[in-house]
Structures are given as C-alpha cells and as structure tokens.
Amino acid sequence: MDDTLKLLRTANCELRTGVAEQRHHPTNRERLHALLDVLSYLYMTYGKPERARDYLRLLVKLRPSESRLLRALALSELESGNPERAKEILEESLELEMTRKERAATFLILSRVLWRLQRSEDSGMAAYQFLQEKSLEAEVVRANDSLK
C-alpha cells in the first residue's frame, strides 16, 4: 500500500508539471490514467467528491474528449456543491461526438443538475431528451437484432 501511495504522489506531482507525458512509457501512462480513474471512483463512492474532482480534473486534462470522464467530473462538481460548473461541463460535453447511450447518460445527469439548480422546466426537458435518446438506441438495437 505504501508503494501505491508513493506512486500516486509522484504521479500527481508529475501530471501537474507535465513531466509524466514526456518521461513515462505509453503503457505506464495508461496504467497511471487507470489508477487515477479508480481512485476518483473510490473517492466518489466513499463520499469524498472533492478529492474525486481533483483526480478527474487531471484525467480530463489528459483525455478531454472522453465523455465518461466529463460526466464523472460533472457529478463530482455537483456533489461538491458546484452545480453551475457541473452544468457547464455537461453542456460543453454535448458538443462532443458520442454514442446514443453516452448522450442519454449525459442528459440524465444534466436533468439532475438542473433539478438541483431549481430549474424544473429545464430539468424536465433534459429528462425528455434522455428518454428520446434511450428510445432511439432501443430502435437501433431492435433493427440490428432483426438483421441477424
């Protein structure tokens, strides 16, 4: 466990300074990203969204077009008491190329964020968009199944 903490501290410092991108082999870089991802998940699970947010911010800097990380960051911002920032992240992420499933998940979280901001009408619209994306995804799955 001490080795993991040492690696984490070193990784955190290197990521902040940009040294990790220059020195680490791509395989090690991927391992580091996975470690940060798992740590952010654990911190969210155990009720420490502020710590999770720190790791997710690093991951988003490294992988800015990965929508799953953006959704996780938005949730950590929401749970850290920053619903406006969560809304901004989600709205920006909707401009990325995503699958229907990813778009649906984004709209579902956006609905929750808007509800927390006491914007019930906008929250309802985001929930409706979630349902639309889910139904379109189901239609595609049914069409693919009928081709088999």
Per-residue pLDDT at 135: 87
Higher pLDDT among residues 13 and 104, named by residue: 104
pLDDT at residue 17 tops 80: no
- The mean predicted confidence, pLDDT, of the chain is 86
Per-residue pLDDT at 31: 87
26-64, pLDDT tens digit by residue? 678 888 888 999 999 999 999 999 999 999 999 999 999
70-89, pLDDT tens digit by residue? 999 999 999 999 999 999 99
Cα–Cα distances in angstroms (integers) from residue 135 to residues 64, 104, 124, 139, in the given order: 28, 10, 16, 6
Q: Which residues contact 67 (CB under 8 A, 6 or more apart)?
A: 93, 96, 98, 102, 106
Q: Is 104 exposed, middle or buried (0-12, 13-18, 19+ CB in 10 A)?
A: buried
